[in-house]
Amino acid sequence: MQTNPRLSIEIPLSPAFHDLDPMNIVWHGNYAKYLEIARCALLSQFNYDYPQMKASGYAWPIVDMRLKYVKPASFGQQLIVRAEIVEWESRLKINYLIKDAVSGQKINQAYTIQVAVDMNTSEMQYICPAILWERLGVEEPQ
């Protein structure tokens, strides 16, 4: 499925002191939090963040997450987190790129995969529900 440039967002982020490990760099587990912040901002622009997902009757658990650490980030470093929806037919796949805001150097790249689960039946949906396509403004597959 081709990507659509409007299915992305870039947000500024600066690691807080409490995000650091004893080596004074961002602890690797905090990158998942940074992805979540960007994912929520991305989904909010389509009015389909977690409260709207729940109201539509679907939970969207993450079933796969991969992160590649390229360079460490440090306290107060100005970062840009880019999130882009790249798949939406049978699953919601979002690619991420975290880079230094000043130099543009890559810090981390990642992706998450979420699937729709009907909240009434707890059944995984093998095709994303129409509400996702409607909110994203993309055509339903035929």
- Half-sphere exposure of residue 31, counting CA atoms within 13 Å on the CB side? 25
Question: Does residue 28 belong to any structural domain of this protein?
Answer: yes
pLDDT at 116 over 60: yes
Question: Does residue 1 belong to any structural domain of this protein?
Answer: no
Domain total of the chain: 1
Q: What is the DSSP letter of 25?
A: S
Q: Provide CB contacts within 8 A for 117, sequence distance 6+.
A: 58, 59, 60, 61, 123, 124, 125
Task: Using the Cα atoms of residue 111, residue 116, residue 117 and residue 119 in order, give the sign of their dihedral.
Answer: positive
Q: Which range marks the domain in which residue 48 is found?
A: 8-136
Question: Does residue 141 belong to any structural domain of this protein?
Answer: no
For residue 40, give the CATH number of its domain: 3.10.129.10
Question: Does residue 3 belong to any structural domain of this protein?
Answer: no
Question: Does residue 120 belong to any structural domain of this protein?
Answer: yes
C-alpha span between 96 and 140 (Å, rounded): 24
Global pTM?
0.92
pLDDT, tens digit, 9 for 90 and up, residues 65-90: 999 999 999 999 999 999 999 999 99
pLDDT, tens digit, 9 for 90 and up, residues 25-47: 999 999 999 999 999 999 999 99
